[in-house]
Chains A and B, each alone.
Chain A
Amino acid sequence: MKHLNAINRKAALVVASTEADVVALQQQGGGPPQQPEKPHIPPGCSTVFSPGWEADHAGGTAGLCSPVERDLFDCHMGCFWPAQVPDQLNHAPDWTAKCAVAQKDWRKIDLVFPG
């Protein structure tokens, strides 16, 4: 960035993001890398569904559906996440019965312990 100047807000953000990173500087010269060497995908979370439930393809949360409540009805009715969200077909057909709008009524849905 020695010979470049930011001329708009986004460029300023890029400059700010490259400010000296104390931990990274300490660990230069073969130490542990500044960024994870590879995405760490929690077991059981697949990015095949892009993004996964717990992590996106980069092992972070930036790509996740948020708020997750906005999408819960689809997840439930479409049985899209049968290991993470109760599915309508089998385990919990009435899971969202008390929950007219998940984004507002999400407190009314229960944790399910399926077989």
Chain B
Amino acid sequence: MAKTIRLSVVALSSAWAVALMLSASPSAQAPAPQAAAPARTEAGIPVTDQVVIKACSGCHRPDDKQQLSRISFRRTTPEGWERTITRMMALNNLKIDAQTARAVVKSLSNSHGLAPEEARRSLYEVERRLGDEEFKAAELNGTCDSCHALGRILGQQRTKQDWDLLIAMHRGWYPIIDRQTFRRMGPAPTGRDASGRPPDMRHPSEKAADFLAETFPLQTKEWASWSASMRPARLDGTWTLAGWETSKGPIYGKVVLTPVAGSTDEFTTTTTYTYARSGEQVSRTGRVSVYTGFQWRGRSTVGGADASALREVMFIEPDWSAIKGRWFAGGYDELGLDVQLQRAGNAVTVVGLDHTALKTGGTGQTLKIYVANPPSALAPRDLDLGPSVTVSAATVAGDVITATVDVAATAAIGPRSLVVAGAVKPGALTIYDKVDSLRVTPSWNMARVGGVVFPKMLARFDAWTFNNGPDKKPNTADDLRLDAVAATWTVEEYKATFDDEDIKFVGGIDAATSVFTPNVDGPNPQRKGERNNMGDVWVVASFTPPGAAAPLKGRSHLLVTAPLYMKFDPTVTP
């Protein structure tokens, strides 16, 4: 069983240090410390679990409504609650064993958790995905996002008073934060705005708190509805697995969930899947705990080997029909699989294909179709790919159907549904006449130097062929994404600074697999100014389509940057 709490390599703070920090705060800027908490104006959520009360009420005293201070006025993800417990251990001298901590996280995630609609907006945070921030709010610019991914904030619901207390906590622990982000530096605004109203005199942190209290309040109709009907998710049974691992392509298989005896929200998992591109087969076993009725937190290994462990963070659709998420590992959780599970049922179901595009005028093209509950026998007529596409042969072996397909030269290009023995997979593949361009995903990526003291953060890429679509123009809405292809990968200079020669120092990319491995951390005496092996480069994919004279190229901007010297991410696993 995985360790839930990471013990911190830190020393505990003391009260005098906090007092010193507060007294050192600029008195002209900071409001007077609160002698006592103001009366609560919003109702909290009672804590009734004796395990939580026993573990937390030494400091968080209950009131006459069974509300524990702070705790009753906040809802968040399992990771949010775990982060709080580890902070209490590190900074507030909490003594708690791992088993009790797990029980507290589970209990609070159920009683003070998020509704599915609320959890969706911060999935990228708990699934540890790298990408551009999609949530935009001017009120949070330069405050929360100065240090945190916004997902950390989007996964929380609090009363106004608790948002204020959260900000006060930050000011207490990090006094410099006032000057960095929380307080307005420079002259106060004067005059009136265009509508004649007086200027907004609030400091940035006050604007943020007001916005957060209004946007992410403790009490919501979503939570009222979900918490009233929440029940253990009945997930036992067989699920089909369709996934994608960057640089390795599609994976297909199944997951069998078995309830853990005596538990309604824990399961053991037996997972088998195949990499369609290479044929590599993987068998994993693991354990899953479901939080708040829909948050899958699991860990699985190949034969119990820790080196093969993947953390599993998934979102169970409220109707229990599908489960989506990410399984990941790596020094920075950067090596992951995108995974989607669907109930296997009893009927024939198309899980996925080994490749997703067929060329017009091509005869004898082979297509492997991964299915659940395959028919015992199959004839070519049981497969239907639409007009102008002929199936000349089809065989079934295990869960894989191998079809031989001819596409007429006059076939219309575009997405096609695939029908297998009555089971329809909409838009399963694309008919195309020409590969027009190559694009690399993700369009930007990040690696971190490491390997001496701190871990390396690797980066991986996919190269996708594209057709310009019916309008014959590139980069328009009707462009057709065809297939991920086996490209040749190189690194080229990104011309941000003359003569920085980043490509000599940042690391190297595997020409076949697209795995970029950054160079070591630490100053590099070989580099001008003993700079680190950081830099930004182009990752370039090169691919020559069959019959083409010259290779197509696509590229992605890769940032090879500094390590993190602290890792805040919690690891909620069963």
A residues sitting closer than 8 Å to B (CB atoms) are: 10, 13, 17, 22-23, 26-27, 29-32, 36, 40-44, 46, 48-49, 53-55, 58-62, 64, 66-70, 72, 78-87, 89-94, 103, 106-107, 109-115
B562 interfacial by beta-carbon distance below 8 Å: yes
Which A residue sits closest to B535, measured CB to CB?
A61
Distance in angstroms from B39 CB to nearest chain A CB is 29
In contact, B181 and A48 (Cβ under 8 angstroms): yes
CA distance A85 to B177 in the complex (A): 14
In contact, A112 and B174 (Cβ under 8 angstroms): no
Chain B residues whose CB sits within 8 angstroms of the CB of A59 once the complex forms: 444, 536, 557, 559
In contact, B566 and A84 (Cβ under 8 angstroms): yes
Chain B residues whose CB sits within 8 angstroms of the CB of A91 once the complex forms: 8, 10-11, 90-91, 566
In contact, B532 and A67 (Cβ under 8 angstroms): yes
Interfacial residues of chain B within 129-148, with CB under 8 A of chain A in the complex: 130-133, 142, 145-148
Chain B residues whose CB sits within 8 angstroms of the CB of A26 once the complex forms: 437, 552-553
Which B residue sits closest to A46, measured CB to CB?
B146
Q: Known A-B contacts: A62-B536, A89-B173, A90-B173. Give 4 more (CB < 8 A).
A: A64-B562, A87-B174, A107-B453, A112-B565
| Listed residue (A13, A62, A87, A103) with the most chain B CB atoms within 10 angstroms of its CB | A62
B87 interfacial by beta-carbon distance below 8 Å: yes
Q: Tell me how many residue pairs across A and B have CB atoms closer than 8 Å.
A: 222
Q: Which of B10, B133, B535, B554 contacts A86 (CB 8 A)?
A: B10
Interfacial residues of chain B within 528-574, with CB under 8 A of chain A in the complex: 529-532, 534-536, 538, 540, 552-555, 557, 559-562, 564-568
B149 interfacial by beta-carbon distance below 8 Å: yes
| Listed residue (A17, A23, A36, A55) with the most chain B CB atoms within 10 angstroms of its CB | A23
Distance in angstroms from B451 CB to nearest chain A CB is 12
Chain A residues whose CB sits within 8 angstroms of the CB of B152 once the complex forms: 44
How many B residues touch A, CB cutoff 8 Å? 87
In contact, A107 and B522 (Cβ under 8 angstroms): yes
Chain B residues whose CB sits within 8 angstroms of the CB of A67 once the complex forms: 522-524, 529-532
In contact, A31 and B557 (Cβ under 8 angstroms): no
Q: Take A13-B498, A48-B146 as given contacts and tell me if A86 and B13 are in contact as well, using a CB distance cutoff of 8 Å.
A: no
Please report whether the interface of chain B is mostly helix, strand, loop or mixed according to DSSP.
loop
In contact, A82 and B130 (Cβ under 8 angstroms): no
B231 interfacial by beta-carbon distance below 8 Å: no
Q: Which of A48, A66, A83, A107 contacts B566 (CB 8 A)?
A: A83
In contact, B180 and A31 (Cβ under 8 angstroms): no
Chain B residues whose CB sits within 8 angstroms of the CB of A55 once the complex forms: 559, 561
Q: Take A85-B566, A92-B10, A112-B565 as given contacts and tell me if A27 and B437 are in contact as well, using a CB distance cutoff of 8 Å.
A: yes
In contact, B475 and A42 (Cβ under 8 angstroms): no
In contact, A43 and B10 (Cβ under 8 angstroms): no
Chain B residues whose CB sits within 8 angstroms of the CB of A69 once the complex forms: 522-523, 532
5 closest pairs, A vs B, by CB? A115-B90, A115-B87, A43-B149, A115-B86, A67-B523
Q: Take A61-B559, A67-B523, A79-B176 as given contacts and tell me if A43 and B133 are in contact as well, using a CB distance cutoff of 8 Å.
A: yes
| Listed residue (B10, B474, B564, B565) with the most chain A CB atoms within 10 angstroms of its CB | B565
B59 interfacial by beta-carbon distance below 8 Å: no
In contact, A30 and B566 (Cβ under 8 angstroms): no
Which B residue sits closest to A22, measured CB to CB?
B553
B439 interfacial by beta-carbon distance below 8 Å: yes
CA distance A55 to B483 in the complex (A): 32
Chain A residues whose CB sits within 8 angstroms of the CB of B167 once the complex forms: none
